[in-house]
Structure 1
């Protein structure tokens, strides 16, 4: 995260790759294909085998090339496939991945290895998509990203500095491609809700449960919402929860941290709007 973003001078952009694919993501996915399908089969598979038929199908059915142009030499096929892969649009790359996953080969371990390695790359590079079964599924939509960005803009003011710090830290921990920290990202997300609740309630020492109770009277917070976030806070605060138990006994995943950041961002936006409508004086 840039210095100007950390201090609230510029809005933080959510770095999840939706309807796009940067070089690192594309290279990572190519490496998955290369290591799963190309590297293990040198020299080129014997004609007529299921593996050679797989490459023929990729050549003719996906890339729509004539079969007589399929090179006899392994390296020529590899160079062709690599060239096409790196020139395709981002959505065509995902088309190609799906085609590979749905095509049978003689080595059943290949699709399984390919599946696992691709999903690791998709998560590491913050792609909005994952492989589920044999299809690419969108796990993050534009509305979720917009909710996070809006919460950062709304809280980038002096009286909500603590809220902004928690949200931007949660995003930074989530989107760190080298060493993501999903556990502490969740911790920061719920802390943002706790912070905005204390500010609106006018009691910076109150726990979230007490602050939410005050909010119900001050801004007309719905009982269902109050109960829902009290439960989430309990999950992150109890003996086996995230805030207090930092052991590795319970693994936390990208989707867990992303969901919490989106949910908490939306709740922060909601509370700010409700407070302004109720005429709350910030300070």
Structure 2
């Protein structure tokens, strides 16, 4: 496999666009993404990233640039949630770490899920610390109860249960402890975790800003 950087330097001496296009067409599909990611990082301009996302969207690609990282997320709402979560300063950078790991050539999917859910856990603790006099607990469910007590979260039991199970998925479902897991974690699982955890951190940001 040729890296985007190496391919860029290999064609940098060519001036004929037809020759460059012919060389690009020889690449495998994943090498083209790698090349695109390197060129965008080399230019390092927001307009280039935005234009690349428009191109990816028009080509029905399953990848988008989020915070200058090319990851397998194509839904516009999910992209915004990930960007908002990264920029929220609520999760101590865990969502960004998860997206960075998602863009790696050999992603550690359980680690991505763990980082995503850690982001939710930290975000909830930060909201408790910043908004209320209560001291955050070391229990995910305990902090959820504090937010519920202050009417920060919808009190519907099903809604609260979903949040608790989200954390339990990482703690008790074998995500952090591979020996307890008898199933394979896939890219789909990791992308789902990044999306749903980003959505919740983004939700917390919105709730705090609206108070």
TM band (smaller chain):
0.5 to 0.7
| Gapped regions of structure 2 (runs ≥ 5) | 1-22, 32-54, 64-71, 130-134
| Gapped regions of structure 1 (runs ≥ 5) | 1-22, 32-88, 95-126, 130-137, 279-283
Q: What is the aligned length?
A: 151
Which residue of 2 is the match for residue 153 of structure 1? 87
CA–CA distance in structure 1, aligned partners of residues 187 and 115 of structure 2: 14
Q: 2:98 aligns with which of 133, 154, 170?
A: 170
Residue 230 of structure 1 and its aligned partner are, at CA, apart by 0.5
Which residue of 1 is the match for residue 51 of structure 2? none
**Alignment of structure 1 residues 110-189 onto 2, 5 Å:** 128=62, 140-155=74-89, 160=90, 163-177=91-105, 179-189=106-116
Q: 2:194 aligns with which of 261, 279, 283?
A: 261
Give the TM-score, by structure 1 length: 0.46
1:165-198 CA-to-partner distances (Å, cap 9, x unmatched) read 2111111111112x21111000010111100111
Whether 1:201 and 2:128 are equivalent positions in the alignment is yes
Whether 1:191 and 2:123 are equivalent positions in the alignment is no
Which residue of 2 is the match for residue 235 of structure 1? 169
Structure 1 runs (4+) greater than 6 angstroms displaced: 23-26, 89-94
Give the TM-score, by structure 2 length: 0.60
Query: Cα 1:92–1:229, aligned 2, differ >3 Å: closer, same or farther?
Result: closer
Contact 1:170–1:186 (8 Å) recurs in 2: yes
Query: Cα 1:233–1:24, aligned 2, differ >3 Å: closer, same or farther?
Result: farther
Question: Is the radius of gyration larger for structure 1 or structure 2?
Answer: 1
What root-mean-square deviation, in Å, do the aligned CA atoms of Structure 1 and Structure 2 show? Answer: 3.2
Query: Cα 1:90–1:214, aligned 2, differ >3 Å: closer, same or farther?
Result: closer
CA–CA distance in structure 2, aligned partners of residues 176 and 206 of structure 1: 31
